[in-house]
Structure 1
Amino acid sequence: MPVSRIIPPGGAPRKLALAQLTNSVGDGAYYVCSALYFSRIVGLSPTAIGAALTLGWALGAVAGVPLGHLADRRGPRGTAVLMSLVTGAAVASFLFVRSYPAFLVAVCVYACAQCGLAAARQALLAALVEPGRRTETRAHLQSTVNAGLALGAALGGVALQLDTEAAYLAAFALDALSFVAAAWLLLRLPAPARTAAAAELLPGGRRLAVLRDRPYAVVSLLNMVMLLYMPLLSVVLPLWIVQRTEAPGWTVSALLVVNTVSVVLFQVRIASRVRGLGSASRSVRQAGLVLLLACLVFASSSLGTSAWAAGALLLAAAVVQVLGEMLLGAGSWEIGFDLAPADKQGQYQGFYGAGTAVARLVGPLLLTTLILSWGFSGWLVLGGLFLTAGTAMGPAVRRASARRGGDPAAPGAVPRPAPGAGAGAAAH
């Protein structure tokens, strides 16, 4: 496989990828260790931890838009650096948290800063990368994040094996330092030129224009429904495998490996097929169909009595699911960027990215109730949701694009160059 399928081209895309790789390694260690640390070492109950996370991500979903607007007004690079430092400080505070009120405050700051950081980084990418290469660059970043999370999870696994307070605190310190390092890397990027519209102080009623953009809200809602695939591997499938199938327990790890490796190796290749709103809508529609198929195969894993047959079905379903995930990512990124005004990328990306926080917020409870309670029919309902949202995305995108008025200078109006075309094309 060509190296350019994994490593982004030089300049801003590579520096953005390096920054994301840095903090995703720390995040991988944090995600693996956090629940056990706060329950076993700090002594918080799982219910209390879950309630704090629910509140934190709910606030994060709301905070993403004003923090994205801050990136539009004050510059995405400076805002991304600030949010990275705040996130690092929130993680560092976990080293000293010993009470539930302190934990609740730290989690809320962490979630809000993470959502603001995501919006600012998306705005920074939009400002530094020409429209025709944004989705390709975003695919590189996704591959990088997955690789970093896998490496960080391995480091976190060492802390789990040691199972000591010092080991857990070392994992948290690594995450905090990773955000500081990421902030330093982001600071080395050029500061984007501010547009005239972004530089001027707008009337109060116009500051958050995305909140009145109903066609964009519909697109964002459909994307949020598609993002319900996110809790499958981390929350739903481990419980499904144990309670409803005969597959061996290690199948959970195998599914995670299949997902991570596939995204690292193939996300950029799949994203290269998307070159505008039309192909992006088709990619999301295909994702809905593929995710429906994955749900059917996952559901079938409960029908047999053979452990090996169930394991084989689960692995096959994981391959189909990650294909749908990559198709969705490629189409969704293009749509989110192209339908946002050039001078409001921050607030629009904050609004669009709220779907991720909402999926983290309601997805685990919704999907565990749906699938573990309803079994096979629950999988069918979930697959139907994916198919319906994916099919509806095309008309919703056309409506949102028409609302833009067909301005040839609008984001995404420039067709994406074919691979290898133009002076700025990456080698493939």
Structure 2
Amino acid sequence: MTNRPQRVLALAQLTNSIGDGAYYVTSALYFTRVVGLAPARVGLGLTVGWAVGSLVGVPLGRLADRRGARGTAVLLALATGLAVASFLVVRGFVPFVLAACAYASAQSGLAAARQALLAGLVPAGERTGLLARLQSTLNAGLAVGAGIGGLALHAGTRAAYLAVFALDTVTFLLCAGLLLRLPSVVPGAPRKRDGGGKPGVLRDRPYVVVTLLNTVLLLRMPLLSLGLPLWIAERTAAPDWLVSALFVLNTGAVMAFQVRMARGVTGLASAAWAVRRSGWVMLAACAVFALTAGASPWVAAVLLVTGAALQVVAEMGQSAGSWQLSFDLAPADRIGEYQGFFGTGVTVARTLGPLVLTSLLVEWGTPGWLLLGGATLAASYAMGPATRRAAGRASEEITRPVLVG
């Protein structure tokens, strides 16, 4: 197979990530200033939306397995674009919640369908490397989109906000067109369920445990957008502008080094080792962040940059390891269903992460940093035995062999 499908996947990723970057930096102010909602209602509506999205990710992933990953991904990309377009016309809380549910559901399903499409088009040994390149592409697109969103924020007009949401809509339509250019993937044969009505992935307890452990590791996701800004403002003497510098450092590092960090992850053993190593690095990052409390402004700034550098190293290692685990531990004909479930970890982290981080860091201070680092290390070490158990279960149920690297 040529690299054309990989290039198309990367271009599709770049296209809609530009729209997402613009959406992320403007959405909060759009919903409050243009739609006219109170901030608390915006938060509640988005929480409800992502909660619904996490529930429908699995059935939409199963749909991709049974009806074809490409067609499902195209339809869900179109649905995401339409959901974003609906934000242009909503002017009340109930319509906003409905639009948020549609948006989060389509996004969750699209993520699962794209993973199933990738699995069908790319050999197993190349998937983690491609996901690393896609992650770098994602960060590049988000950076470009954030710049566009920044222009809209600077203008501050209703028309500027509407233009950003229209741009995001168009990028998802373009993404759908690009995905349509990919070869079709033959759907997997439907499997009968044994007793009970639960989806098959929920009966795969070892895979559920791996997903739960990965969710714990993902609780650091709101760190740059929420945890560190509040920590810097409330607990350190460092300048506030350092928040943007740390964001740039993280984004640039992922763009430059994520592919290199993923090269050594080629199987289950190397993936579990990468996750375990990332736990130690994250613990070190948390310890460095904890030292910034009470330090002089420039000492705190140096420590914050050091901690952010360690944090992004941990993030890249954990990402590469989890990608490999999520694919290799899933049945070959149920990738979409399993990826839909594995992806709920991101949704849960986005929902619970802000509450966990503000409680640990802002309220508890230094002990909170150490507890966060300790929990991350414990989850990363537990991933090893959980992976071995899941691999043993998979070898009994999956017709393809699972290689432990």
Cα gap change, 1:406 to 1:270, in 2 (>3 Å)? farther
The answer to whether the 8 A contact 2:268-2:404 is kept is no
Partner of 1:402: 392
1:14-413 matched pairs, under 5 angstroms: 14-195=7-188, 197-198=189-190, 208-304=199-295, 306-405=296-395, 410=400, 412-413=402-403
Deviation string 1:331-383 (CA, Å, 9 cap, x unpaired) is 00000000000000011000001000000011101111111000000001100
Q: C-alpha displacement at 1:307, in angstroms?
A: 1.3
TM-superposed CA distance for 1:182, in Å, is 0.3
CA distance in 2, matches of 1:204, 1:16: 38
- Closer/same/farther in 2, CA of residues 357 and 411 from structure 1, 3 Å limit: farther
How far residue 205 of structure 1 moved from its aligned partner, in angstroms, is: 5.3
SS at match of 2:330: coil
Per the TM alignment, residue 192 of structure 1 is displaced from its structure 2 partner at its CA by 1.1
Kept in 2: contact 1:131–1:412 (CA 8 A): no
Unaligned segments of structure 1, at least 5 residues: 1-8, 416-428
Amino acid at match of 2:308: A
- Specify the SS of the correspondent of 1:351: helix
**Alignment identity in percent?**
59
**Cα distance between partner residues in 2 of 1:106 and 1:389:** 35
Q: TM-score normalised to the size of structure 1?
A: 0.92
- Cα separation, 2, equivalents of 1:371 and 1:353: 26
SS in 2 for 1:171: helix
Check the 8 A contact 2:58/2:340 in 1, yes or no.
Answer: yes
Listed one character per residue, the Cα deviations across residues 368-400 of structure 1 (whole Å, up to 9, x for unaligned) are 111100000000110011000000000000000
The answer on whether the counterparts of 1:342 and 1:411 sit within 8 Å (CA) in structure 2 is: no
- The separation in 1 between residues aligned to 2:43 and 2:333, in whole angstroms, is 37
In the alignment of these two chains, the number of paired residues is 404
TM-score (norm 2): 0.97
Specify the code of the residue in structure 2 equivalent to 1:209: G
Displacement of 1:412 in angstroms is 4.5
Post-superposition offset of 1:66? 0.4
Amino acid at match of 2:289: F
Distance 1:71 1:401 in 2: 24
Q: Give 1:202 deviation, angstroms.
A: 6.4
CA distance, structure 1, for counterparts of residue 239 and residue 40 of structure 2: 28
Residues in 2 aligned to 1:101 and 1:115: alpha-carbon distance in whole angstroms:
21
Note the alpha carbon deviations across 1:173-231, whole angstroms, 9 max, x for none. 11010000000000100001233x24x77679588210100000000000000001100
- Cα distance in 1 for partners of 2:167, 2:3 equals 27
- Per the alignment, in what secondary structure is the counterpart of residue 234 of structure 1? coil
Shift of 1:163: 0.4
CA offset at residue 411 of structure 1? 6.0
Q: Which runs of 5+ in 2 are unaligned?
A: none
**One-letter amino acid matched to 2:257:** F
